[in-house]
Amino acid sequence: MKKISINKSDEAALIVEKIIEIESDEIILIIPRFSQLGESLGNFHLLKREADAIDKKLLIESVDNRVIELAELAGIEALNPFFVKNKRQFSDIIPKKEKIISGKKNGAAGDWKKEEEFIKKISNNLSLEEFENKQSHFSKKEKQKVAGEENEREVEESEEKESFIKKIPIKTIIGTIVLGLVVFGAITMLPKVDLELVSKKMEWSYTDSVITQLSAKADYKTVTIPNQKSTSSKNLEMKFPATGKKQVSNKASGKMTIYNSYSSDAQTLVKDTRFLSPDGKIFKLIKQIIVPGAKISEGKILPSSIDADVVAEKAGEEYNVGQVKLFQIPGFKGTPKYAAFYGESKSNMTGGFVGEISYPTASDIAAAKKKMKETLESSLKTELYSEISSDFKIVEGSSSFSTLKEDIKEDVDKDGNFSIFSDAQLAIISFKESDLIDILSKKAEAEKGEDYAVKSYDLQYGIARMDVASGRLSFPVTFKAILSYKIDIEKIKSEIAGMSDIELREKIFSLPGIDIENQNVVSFWPFWVKRVPNNLNKINIAVD
């Protein structure tokens, strides 16, 4: 069992901490007279609850009858150490109920009166020291009688208290506990003061251009701030419907491989040289070619070849033929070259058509190029915006889109669509809005004085002008601000601590920067408090 001596000024919360720190499961709290703990039943309920929560048993020793009474009401075992000592000394000699009876029957009348006076003085809350000084007037036998009678009185009072408590409604007990906790909470929070001060204010505005530059230093005099440039490129091919209609007569065309197995001499074939397919279709050379000479190896001729572009003799879909193994040259017919020079198509001949087809008009192409630009620009902006930090501002006109390459294929496909291939780049210049607010605030303070700071503002941007090559971006702004006088809250707290209500109000009127024409509110709590606390944490100041 561990003993803890409590100071008069110790609060319940501090005592709980001591109980928690003690390793012993049984603790005796020694509480002096006039202890702060004895001011509220709620304090003892708090001790009881916290001790039970950590399975520790509490015992209270005190010479203060109020402490003993409150502890017992809270369910904590309590005793007066002096009376307990006497009871332990003589309990084996004289039974509790017989002590007083014995004194009344056998003791002298004078002795009994002294005992009675002694007990009355004890009941009037003599301190333990005063009580011990009085002991010298009594013999050991007298002390035994007094202790016996006091013990009997305690038993009777305890029984009366228990009977009285049982009669108290549970709602009353709960209400008392709640009231005690409220009082305890109020005591720990009291007192405090709240001040709502209104500072002097003025308007300030700036309507002009702002310059942003790569690697620039922020300067409120020239209204210049740094920026950053971000770039990205992307290519895309898209199809668009062709709305134009026209009559055409197109000839099929394709590639043909022409062989020379005649001699080692090269052979020139002029433009329009005809080649005849087995089914009688004629295709002509689009331009003159020279077929290289064949190679002679061990007396054998190895054919040489060359690829050439050919076109059908007539228009029409019937010339859209597949691969053909042998095309002969009618011009060599009747000569040895007829069998030695020949052609072969290894891919299809296509494009033959007679009739109406779709084609892209000038407006079709213009609309397609615009759509292509919008699509690429939007895609690039989405990509770059996701990469730019959220604390950077992008204003209208701060991006530059450029087309690096564009290829328009006007030939329509089977669905009547033409296509555009485009390669593009987007550059965006952004800046930190916090940098802009900072230099404008400094410019306002430079003009109106350092005692004022920007309290609120409205900022609007115009369309920016951008130079991608130099990384320069400029734009107009309209900045309207409310400047408020700077109030040093902590300094005011230290100055008003301990002041009376009247002194505080006089101080507020003398503070620089306070707008005395507006309502400055002072509120003490609780209502009976009329002096500012010395604890700065109990002083709350809000400045509008």
Query: Rounded mean pLDDT of 310-321?
Result: 94
Position 37 confidence tier, pLDDT thresholds 50, 70, 90? confident
Instruction: Single out the residue of 375, 229, 253, 378 nearest to residue 316, CA to CA.
Output: 253
Residue 447 tokens, joined: 């003009």
Q: What is the pLDDT of residues 438-452, one digit of tens each?
A: 999 999 999 888 888
Predicted pLDDT at 31: 92
Predicted pLDDT at 347: 94
Q: What is the pLDDT of residues 105-118, one digit of tens each?
A: 334 344 444 444 44
Residue 187 predicted with pLDDT over 60: no
Predicted pLDDT at 221: 92
Give residue for tokens 């069992």: 1
Say what the pTM is: 0.50
Predicted pLDDT at 40: 87
Q: Are 45 and 39 a contacting pair, CB within 8 Å?
A: no
How far does Cα 147 stand from its chain's mean position? 71
If one compares 395 and 80, the residue with the highest pLDDT of the two is: 395
Query: Rounded mean pLDDT of 51-65?
Result: 90
Q: What is the pLDDT of residues 471-502, one digit of tens each?
A: 999 999 999 999 999 888 998 889 889 898 88
Predicted pLDDT at 158: 57
The per-residue pLDDT of the chain, averaged, comes to: 83
What does the domain layout of the chain look like in residue ranges?
2-186, 230-243+359-431, 245-356
Predicted pLDDT at 527: 81
Predicted pLDDT at 59: 92
Q: What is the pLDDT of residues 128-182, one digit of tens each?
A: 344 444 444 444 444 454 455 545 555 555 555 555 555 567 767 787 777 766 6
Instruction: Single out the residue of 480, 421, 484, 422 nearest to residue 448, CA to CA.
Output: 484
Instruction: Single out the residue of 315, 323, 262, 327 nearest to residue 292, CA to CA.
Output: 262
Query: Rounded mean pLDDT of 258-268?
Result: 93
If one compares 399 and 181, the residue with the highest pLDDT of the two is: 399
Predicted pLDDT at 517: 77
Q: How many Å apart are CA 131 and CA 135, to the nearest integer?
A: 7
- HSE toward the beta carbon, residue 464, CA cutoff 13 A: 25
Burial annotation 44-75 (CB, 10 A radius, 16+ → b, else e): bbbbeebbeeeebebbbbbbbbebbbbbbbbe
Angle between helices 12-21 and 41-53 (to 10 degrees): 20
Position 85 confidence tier, pLDDT thresholds 50, 70, 90? very low
Burial category of 544 from C-beta neighbours within 10 Å (exposed 0-12, middle 13-18, buried 19 and up): middle
Burial category of 401 from C-beta neighbours within 10 Å (exposed 0-12, middle 13-18, buried 19 and up): middle
